[in-house]
Each structure stands twice: as C-alpha cells, then as structure tokens.
Chain A
Amino acid sequence: MTGAATDPAALPRHRHLLDFAAWSAADVVALLGRADVMAQVLTRTIKKVPALQGFTIATLFFEDSTRTRLSFERAARAQSADVIGFAAGSSSLKKGESLRDTLRTVDQLQVDLYVVRHPAGGAPYQLARWTDAAIVNAGDGRRAHPTQALLDAYTMLKRFGASGGGKGAEGTGRRGAEGADPERPFAGKRLTIVGDIDHSRVARSNIELFTKLGGEVTLCGPATLVPAEFGEVPGVRVVARLEEAVEGAHAVMGLRLQQERMSAGLLPSLSEYVARYQLTEKVMRLACEGAILMHPGPLIRDVEIDSALADGPRSVIEEQVANGVPVRMAVLYTLLVGKG
C-alpha cells in the first residue's frame, strides 16, 4: 500500500462521459478499479454510502429503457444522491417543447448530473453545450453507450483477469502478470460480437473500449448489417462465417436483432438469420476454453442465442446486469466528486 496509492492524480477530472474519446486507457482502468470498491459497498449489511449526499441526478430518457434507467437509479441511490427524471412517454417533447427548452427547465431544478438517452446520435453532446452540469450518455442513437461497454469490460476483467496489472487502479487485488502493461488489460484477448453491428451503439462502444484496452475485436453478421469499413479500424476484423469468427474467442457477445430490420429489407428472414448466426453451445465449443457468452439485453430467446446456452454455465448475462450498478456508481462518483 506504499507509494502508488498516495498519488492524488490517479484519476483526473472528467466533466462528462459521452464516449471514450476523452478518456485514456489509464483513466478507464482506474475507473474500473473504483467500480471494484463500489461492488464491495453493495455486499455490506447496509448497501448504501453517503458519498453523493446533496447531489441531484436527473435521468432524461427520450427513448424507452427499463434496465439502464433502473441501474443508474440504483447506482445513484446507493450513494445517497437524489434522483429525479422522466421517461419518453411523459416528456413535454410530446407537446412540442424543444430539447433545449426541456433541458433549461430541468436545469432550474439544480441538477448536478444528467443521465441522457436519446434516439438521435449526438444529442448528449448537444446537451453538454447547454448546461454546466455533467452529462452521462446512456445511449444515443447508434453512436455510443459507454456505460454498457464499461460494465462489459468489467465483467470480462472479472472473468478472465487482466493481462496487464492494476497499477494506478484503486482498490486492491487486480494485479496481473509481471511486466504486463497495466493500460492494456485485454492484450492478447479476443472479443467476438455477432449480429446487427451497424445499428448497435453497444457494439460501437465495445469496439472503442476493448481496442483501447489492448484487445482485438471480431465482428460477424449479415453483410447488410456489418459494414465492411468497420474492418479498417485498427484491432478490428470483419468475418463472414460465424464458426470462423468464434474460433479462439475469449468472449462472445450476441446483440439483439431488431425485428424492424427485417421489414426494412436488410434481412431475408428470421429463420435464415437463426440458421446462420444464432449462438449455440456447438459453435461456442470453437471458442477458447472457458470462453464467456455475453448479451446486453433484452434477449430474444432462441433468436440471437440458443436458450440452453443463454441459461448455461458460459452465460454471464445476469452478471453483466449486476455489474452495471457498481460500474455506474463509479462513473457517477467520478464525475461528481472533485469538480472544483
């Protein structure tokens, strides 16, 4: 505990979490270490700390969401923050109010941080220009969903351990192999994402984060849903055949198949998708030993993932949901405390 832990600059100040462009690998590693401390809070007799007492958090969900909003609310309340918010259906936007006027109105309620979900990509960035409060992007169009990628990274770190070390990370215990780069905890690790990549903010944020932390990403799905230009991103490759994509993977992530894509003519038929891209125990046998299966939810059983596999020992789908709370606790704490 000497030396390293006394560095007050372990995690520099960030105003917002919009995507990971402004976050260095070291910052993300420190944030994930902080999530570990928060996870421990949730194991105590009283699963609540007063850390964010006096802060007000507003959840602005311009698009329906249950799990993400519940997870953020739990994360805020576990730290004693006050939470206000609205969901899409009750918004004044329905009555014709502009996004800016909605924000200005809520701003008068002395909000310190907004958790924003919006169907239009870029909306949280626009909001960040109109308020002095912090903004956490909880999903904007198909652009980004950074807290989902963080909880996925946290889940993978927990499951297969960091290739790097935990230098600079808070908490204890996350120390990797001697001489490994602490800023590349996923060095040598492979994540395969299967399905509708093009319409997925979860895929985009996972690609951004997993490669930032040193890992390699393989994308697989119908050509109409996996644009070839993704393969030009360093650390990313696009593979047509599912078997080839899963081979040697340490983690395989299924994505929800949105039915409306079918009507848009991007998919020939559901049965053809299932036949070619459904994740099954059989195809998972091609992955690394102990490879994990992930899905951001909501899961449509027996479409993206075979039901038995989703409920089987490889599946960490429920763990992902549980890990969302400490990860979001760390995000809220980091953005709110020490604003100066």
Chain B
Amino acid sequence: MSEPRVEHPNLTFKATLMGEVELERALKRIAHEVVERNKGAERIALVGIHTRGVPIAERLSAYIAEYEGVTPPFGKLDITLYRDDLTEIALQPIVRKTEVDFDVHGMRIVLCDDVLFTGRTARAALDALIDMGRPAAIQYAVVVDRGHRELPIRADYVGKNVPTSSSEVVQVKLAEVDGVNAVELWERA
C-alpha cells in the first residue's frame, strides 16, 4: 500500500515517464483544476497520505496560495491503522502520526497520493478521514493512475494516466523525500 518504494536490486529501469518540468506542470494544472472545480479556494484543505502524498499536498497548497491568495490548510494522514491486510502481513509496518490540525467538518478535502493502483490505500484513507469528522466532500488527487483497480475507486485529479502491466513498478520521486523530481517505470525481475 503506501509503503515507500525503495530501489530494489531485482528491479530494472525501463523509462522516465515524467521529468521534473512535466511533474511540476502536472501539479500546477491539478492546483488549477482543484480551484476550478470547487469554485475558489474557500474551505478547501489538502491532506497527503504518508509518505509521498505529504509533499504533494504541501506543493498543491502552495500553488493554490500563489494563484488565489488564500493558503488552504494542509495535513498528513497515516493510514497504517486502517489497512485491510494487517492480519496477513509479515513485517511490522511503520506507524506514523496523523497530523490534521484543522477541523475537517464541512471542509472540501483533497486527498493526495503519488500513485493510484489497487485503490486500497484510498479506501483506508477515506475511512481514516471520516473518523475525524464529517467533511463536506472528499476528492482524490494522484500524480499517476496506473490502473489495476481492486476496488470501485477513481481519482478526481490525475497527473498522468499510465497503462501498466502487473510486473511493472511506478516510482514517483519527489525532491522532499527522494532528492529528485521524476516519475519512473521499472520492471520487476
């Protein structure tokens, strides 16, 4: 699920899907779309899913502040305690703190993540958010939608749709976490 993808010896590099400039352009476009769809920046909040959703939410919040002159609140969501596979997994997951310091009640929350894959992370995030109160709406923004959904989940804002095979791995790299900005396609050996 939202576990960070580390570079692994049995992965081989296939292609760069988005460079730094394209990634920035996509995020700026999403920021505009968020404002357009919600008819302004009032009562919008951005919540990033740990790990890479967090800098995405932070960047979107900054872009919206730049365009609209209003800085939407932003928060960090850890969904580990909401995972649906805790009875099955072998390794202890890292449990991080959720930091949503504003009242979600009545807010239009844009949930942010790097990759939309099975939809299970989004499902867990929806439950986690709703346990904090009753938002007016929850929307979902991702950098890459790679297909292979296992749940009826879709994103409202997508940086790039990338059809993938199940042996492929999509890595969104963000400067705040990875030191570089890029979206890469890797193949599992």
Contact = CB atoms under 8 A, between A and B. Distances in A.
Interface of A: 1-2, 5-8, 10-13, 34, 36-37, 40-41, 44-46, 48-55, 79, 170-173, 333-334, 337-340
Interface stretch (B94-102, B136-144, B180-188): B94-102
A337 B133 contact: no
A171 B94 contact: no
Interface of B: 3-4, 6, 51, 54, 78, 80-83, 86-87, 89-99, 127-128, 131-133, 176-177
Nearest to A339: B90
11 contacts: A6-B4, A7-B94, A8-B94, A37-B98, A46-B131, A49-B81, A50-B127, A51-B82, A79-B81, A333-B95, A340-B91
Nearest to B105: A45
Contacts of A45: 131-133
A54 to B, nearest CB: 5
B89 to A, nearest CB: 6
Contacts of A54: 86-87
Lowest 4 A-B CB distances belong to which pairs? A338-B92, A49-B81, A340-B90, A51-B81
A44 B95 contact: no
A37 B81 CA distance: 10
Contact of B54 (A1, A36, A41, A337): A1
A221 B176 CA distance: 55
Contacts of B93: 8, 337-338
Contacts of A41: 81
B94 A5 contact: yes
A53 B131 CA distance: 16
Contacts of A334: 92
Contacts of A40: 97-98
Nearest to B4: A6
Nearest to B55: A1
B95, B133, B176: most-surrounded residue (chain A CB, <10 A): B95
A51 B96 CA distance: 13
A339 to B, nearest CB: 8
B131 A49 contact: yes
A44 B132 contact: yes
A173 B81 CA distance: 20
Contacts of A52: 86
A50 B92 contact: no
A9 to B, nearest CB: 8
Given A51-B82, A51-B86, 14 more contacts: A1-B51, A8-B93, A11-B92, A36-B97, A37-B96, A37-B98, A40-B97, A50-B82, A51-B83, A53-B86, A171-B96, A173-B97, A337-B93, A338-B92
